[in-house]
Amino acid sequence: MTDNSKIKLLYKKKFNEITKHNKLYYTKDSPKISDFEYDKIKQDLLELEKKYPFLKKDKSINDIVGAKPSNKFKKIDHLSPMLSLANAFSLEDMSDFLKKINNFLNQNDKKLTLFCEPKIDGISATLIYEKGILTRGLSRGDGKVGEDILENLKTIHNLPQKIQSKDVPSIIEIRCEIFIGKKDFTKLSDKFANPRNAAGGSLRQKNPKETSKVPLKYFAYGFGKVLPMKFTTQEEFLQKIKKWNFTINPLSEAVNNLEDIETKHKQMELLRSSLDYDIDGLVYKVNNLSLQKRLGNTSNSPRWAIAYKFSAEKAVTKIKDIVIQVGRTGAITPVAKVEPVTVGGVVVSNATLHNEDEISRKDIRIGDTIKIQRAGDVIPQVVSVDISKRHKNSKKYIFPKKCLCGAETKKELSKSTRKHDAVRRCTRGYDCIFTAKEKLKHIVSKEAFNIDGLGKKVIEQFWDLNFIKEPSNIFDLNYNKIKNLEGWGELSINNLKKAIKKSQIVSLDKFIYSIGIRHIGQENAKILAGFFSSIKEFSKLFDIKNRKKILINLVDLDGIGETQIQSIENFFLNKTNTRIIENLITKLNIKDYVAQNSDGKFSNKKLMFTGGFKDMSRSEAKEIAENNGGKVLGSISKKLDYLVVGDSKPTKSKIEQAKQLNIKIILEKDWNKILNS
């Protein structure tokens, strides 16, 4: 082969590779490589083209990869975090949502007005106006930090770049959804699988001229920071911004009860296909903004809003095989490998079967014809089996009792419910290589160490190459070895180094969450971090003698129960777990926990509640105490500073105990006075 043909061949190989990844990214919306890896291939191709111009004769790489999102956008902070929404899938879920709100606000029989808006299936963006001038435009990013896409947003023709009104706040963050009309989408080239992907691709263009070629539209639906705040309801906010020339969705309206919700849902489900934009459900928001403020947020989503999704799209296919997957908590999940089928514009070849009980309840077998459904980003599920199509020789599926690592699996007995868990688990923790690999993926994920460039695929690859076998290895990577791998170059390696270095400084709560103790999610990790305060204190759990004493004390923490304590104990009983976590600690700079609201009326005070309050629920009282720097305990001990006694049915023995221990008692009327002071 001549040198030129060798080069052509190499070029063609890389060209095909990038075409494949483009397709995975745009049409399947499931990229298989990191941006760094992608950039490396692109860079190699550009270099080849520069060196050997004859390669460009047919098509240059620039002709096909113009739209790949870039990681080179400037990062900017949102002024207030952009949260996501919890989902409801049935009227029952909506009824629960209403009940929860009324319970939290302790207003059982009061009427609650919700504001209902279509949930646009597009790309969210934040617009920041200072003194009425659009100064910043951001993508969602991780909700805290977004990318500077201002110039691209400015190409949307009816998006106000100035708010011309006397009553414009000095700062206002407007949240909106960017989309492409369905009709406009059909006129675009077939590079994208659906309008949402096309809107995303267009918004992430480096060159705003490219963005302006696609007719983007938007609906404004919410706000972040507003100074000074003058609105009192969601409806009033929308009407006001409409006057300021923002486009709001015309199908939005206030609703007052579950019947209204049901009617609206049916009506919109029928209307859905006739709209020129995709919607995947309706968003319901508590209309009154002061109630919204009282309700506040959980870690990721507001308590005052929910997305009631339309029924999932369904499709019929056949099960080719059933395999098992091991999760980071050792959970064994059966997965059906199905004949590829398109559901809601996405090709599906896997569907979850949840657990052993689900398989036997539905009597799901290999070879069965099944109906699957896919709702939003949720993994497709098997809805039903068509028994009439079953082969007469088919056999019941026998669920494997062993993990992929060969160890026996267990169904745990819950101490609180005394029932066996539906899920089988491998209990070997880091000793099981399948669990260990998943734990690594969790550690590098967004909510944990958030290491850009070290995604799931790279972890798989580095695991196979023996580069990373436990978390501490992340910080000892041999970059010379990585340099020789396909897809890695100087730029991507430098970025990876930077991301890893950045992740070494971590807050105690993030660290506790990251190590992946079962039942310890983000919220519980914060509670534990508040209790331990420093890694030094937390590390005392490694020693069995200390551990017992500490675990007893955890019972005091409101939110931590027997299940969590048992799980922490099990985690540290495993010697491999402790060794691995100790190794990890040596690589990190773990910052002492600073409560988000350490200053306030109850700064550094420990409170406990007994009895009910007239104007608020226990949950709201707890949240207020925490937002004011206090810690809420679940039992009486010397450590307690205040026992807050609600007028309705307080526990007498608790008051007695508190008196004996000289703990200050706050009565309901005093509590209200403190809050209003």
Q: Is 454 in the site for ligand IVH (CB under 6 A)?
A: no
Q: Is 84 in the site for ligand IVH (CB under 6 A)?
A: yes
**Contact pick of 18, 65, 67, 85 for ligand IVH (by CB under 6 A):** 85
Q: What angle do CA 490, 585, 523 make, to 5 degrees?
A: 100
Distance in angstroms (rounded) separating the CA atoms of residues 526 and 510: 8
Residue nearest to ligand IVH (CB): 124
From the CB of 307, what's the least distance to ligand IVH, in Å? 6
Q: Which is nearer to ligand IVH, 242 or 540 (CB)?
A: 242
**Contact status, residue 423 vs residue 403, Cβ threshold 8 Å:** no
Q: Which is nearer to ligand IVH, 292 or 355 (CB)?
A: 292
Q: Is 221 in the site for ligand IVH (CB under 6 A)?
A: yes
Q: Which is nearer to ligand IVH, 265 or 365 (CB)?
A: 265
Residues whose CB falls within 8 Å of the CB of residue 93, separated by 6 or more in sequence, listed in order: 87, 306, 308
Residue 411 is among the residues annotated as catalytic for this protein: no
**Contact status, residue 402 vs residue 428, Cβ threshold 8 Å:** no
Q: Is 195 in the site for ligand IVH (CB under 6 A)?
A: no
Q: Which is nearer to ligand IVH, 219 or 244 (CB)?
A: 219
Count interface residues toward ligand IVH (CB under 6 A): 14
**Contact pick of 119, 217, 424, 442 for ligand IVH (by CB under 6 A):** 119
Q: Which is nearer to ligand IVH, 221 or 671 (CB)?
A: 221
Q: Is 239 in the site for ligand IVH (CB under 6 A)?
A: no
Q: Is 278 in the site for ligand IVH (CB under 6 A)?
A: no
From the CB of 122, what's the least distance to ligand IVH, in Å? 7
Q: How far apart are the first and last CA of the chain?
A: 86
From the CB of 293, what's the least distance to ligand IVH, in Å? 13
Q: Which is nearer to ligand IVH, 80 or 533 (CB)?
A: 80
Q: Is 556 in the site for ligand IVH (CB under 6 A)?
A: no
From the CB of 282, what's the least distance to ligand IVH, in Å? 8
Q: What angle do CA 592, 597, 598 make, to 5 degrees?
A: 55
Question: 35: helix, coil or strand?
Answer: helix
From the CB of 156, what's the least distance to ligand IVH, in Å? 15
Question: 332: helix, coil or strand?
Answer: strand
179: which 2 tokens? 């989309």
Distance in angstroms (rounded) separating the CA atoms of residues 477 and 307: 43
**Contact status, residue 38 vs residue 68, Cβ threshold 8 Å:** yes
Distance in angstroms (rounded) separating the CA atoms of residues 251 and 116: 9
**Contact pick of 35, 44, 117, 620 for ligand IVH (by CB under 6 A):** 117
**Contact status, residue 247 vs residue 218, Cβ threshold 8 Å:** yes
Question: 300: helix, coil or strand?
Answer: coil
**Contact pick of 18, 67, 120, 324 for ligand IVH (by CB under 6 A):** 120
Distance in angstroms (rounded) separating the CA atoms of residues 280 and 278: 7
Q: CA dist 473 to 36, 70, 470, 581, 626, Å?
A: 21, 29, 6, 12, 37
Place of tokens 């971590």: 506
Strands (E), 96-165: 114-120, 123-130, 133-139, 145-147
Q: Is 177 in the site for ligand IVH (CB under 6 A)?
A: yes
Q: Is 265 in the site for ligand IVH (CB under 6 A)?
A: no
**Contact pick of 222, 224, 471, 516 for ligand IVH (by CB under 6 A):** 222
Question: 435: helix, coil or strand?
Answer: helix
One symbol per residue from 307 to 336: x for binding ligand IVH (CB under 6 A), - otherwise; what is it? x-----------------------------
- DSSP per-residue codes, 615-634: SS-HHHHHHHHHHTT-EEBS
Place of tokens 């809805």: 383
Q: Which is nearer to ligand IVH, 83 or 407 (CB)?
A: 83
513: which 2 tokens? 């969450």
* Segment 281 to 310, residues that bind ligand IVH, using CB under 6 A: 283, 302, 305, 307
Annotated catalytic residue within 40, 119, 309, 631 = 119
Q: Which is nearer to ligand IVH, 224 or 646 (CB)?
A: 224
Residue positions annotated with a catalytic role: 119
Which residues are near ligand IVH by CB under 6 A? 83-85, 117, 119-120, 124, 177, 221-222, 283, 302, 305, 307
